[in-house]
Structure 1
Amino acid sequence: MSRLHPIISVTGSSGAGTTSVMRTFGQIFRREAVNAAFIEGDSFHRYDRSDMKAAMAEAQERGDHSFSHFGPEANLFDQLEELFRSYSETGTGKIRRYLHNAGEAEPYGQEAGTFTPWEELPDDSDLLFYEGLHGAVVYDDVDVAQHADLSIGVVPVINLEWIQKLHRDASERGHTAEAVTETILRRMPDYLQYVCPQFSHTDVNFQRVPMVDTSNPFIARTVPTLDESMLIIRFRRPQGIDFSYLLAMLHDSFMSRPNTVVCPGGKMDLAMQIIFTPMILRLIERRNAAREGTCSRG
């Protein structure tokens, strides 16, 4: 953690909805004139698209049917932690981009599914914003979670997460339901070991629970909408949270536990705006005070 160079991380698995959360934070940053350095977790995968296919084939040949993007073998956990550590100390660090499609790859003259070269992050940002699979991962001697000043988990109930992934991968990536199902099964051991534990380290978790039948996610024709859901918001450290204000602003909400608010799913964006705007402003105020203190000592 750093007063001068704060870090916000949003963590969730494939299909969890972290991209939508990133858009909400983008709105807050623009409104409050916060210059955030955006980091996508995909850029810290170990393999590009073609190399990942080769690594998966090799794993299957040796009888490993659980090799996945969720585990340490396919990721650069140490370099992700080094970025967080470097940014917290100096306000910069080494980054790259993963180019998901032809539109992203064209400006770089590269193929889709490849990485841009490593480069130094500009040192003029107000904070670092990470969105991806491993923003709060703790593994062996790697502890990414310890460096984040604010960490958020996005965790739909598992059937909803699968439905969202099935529909996204089919519509945006052209994958068959069978292929997506195989991916879900292959990733499950790593999901249990490396993704789930992160949500014990996050400061705030957002879990969407559908109010419609999702018993068999593999035959669901549509993704349950926000208005067909309830949202569970859990605070790891409830001290300092004005729950009375939250309940007043989020109509039809209630508290199910001393650290947990339940509200209609359609209020997810509003809830994030209300909860995170003051948190971000406090990080920026703390940063400005630290900078002024540094300047006065200098």
Structure 2
Amino acid sequence: MASERRQVPLLPPDSRVGIIAGSGSLPVNVAQSLALAGHHPFIVIIEGEADRLSDLQAHQHVVLPLEAAAVAFDRMRKEGVTHAVLAGGIRRRPQLRKLRPTLRLITALPKVAWELTLGDDGLLRAVMRHIESTGIKLVGAQEIVPDLLAREGVMTRAAPEKADRRDIDAALQAALAIGRLDIGQAAIAVGGRVVALEGVEGTDGLLERMVALRSHGRLAGKGGGVLAKCTKPGQDLRADLPGIGVQTIRDAKRAGLRGIAVEANRAFVLDYADTIAAADDYGLFVVGVDVHA
């Protein structure tokens, strides 16, 4: 059954997980899974980024601005955090002039200033190195909530047809291409042709743009199409895995798409049961694809 949960791997008995929480449902899903497994998470809620605040605040937490990340790591160590998870989206970059200094950060300031100029992947790798330099082990969210990873194959009642498969292949190849350039993780294809690529606006913005593109001369009167999302080639899988949720399904329906393809075992289907149910209600397909097959 699509709604069956997989077993959550057990952490060492004396471990405690800190969640650095950005936007979306992933931080909530991770926190809930940890609590159910008997681990009580400590959550660093990134001010102005994290949403679903009431769900996050049900656990021990602190609210800090993005520029206080270094302070957050010190606070996590004081709370006995042994493992950390980066979960959820961050829409902006920290501003150097607003960084809250710690002794560790002051000594690394020239390097930090340079890292802020890197692309998204480069900056993430720098953040992950800094976390582990504090003695906290970084783990991927998928290690905590493997039940939310996309299964390979069709997860919905509706299934892609032959024309949809052409759109899936085209959109995935485009998503891989922009991933190599560290631009985004998603693309849309209609009629076997790529029509839109994800940029800094994220998947929500991409789908909103697709709504407007429906009236474009080359697309006017054409229905269908597929959104595809996959990891960037060479991406560190401990952070920023692609994901879809209920809102993605709603936006895809509004954009006139027939379905969504995600990378199997490397993309999240957040709030899994609700997301698949929403797709079924709208008659959309959701399929997990082995991108490297």
Fold equivalence (TM over 0.5)? no
Q: Return the structure number with greater helix share.
A: 1
The structure showing larger relative contact order (alpha-carbon pairs under 8 Å, at least 6 residues apart) is 1
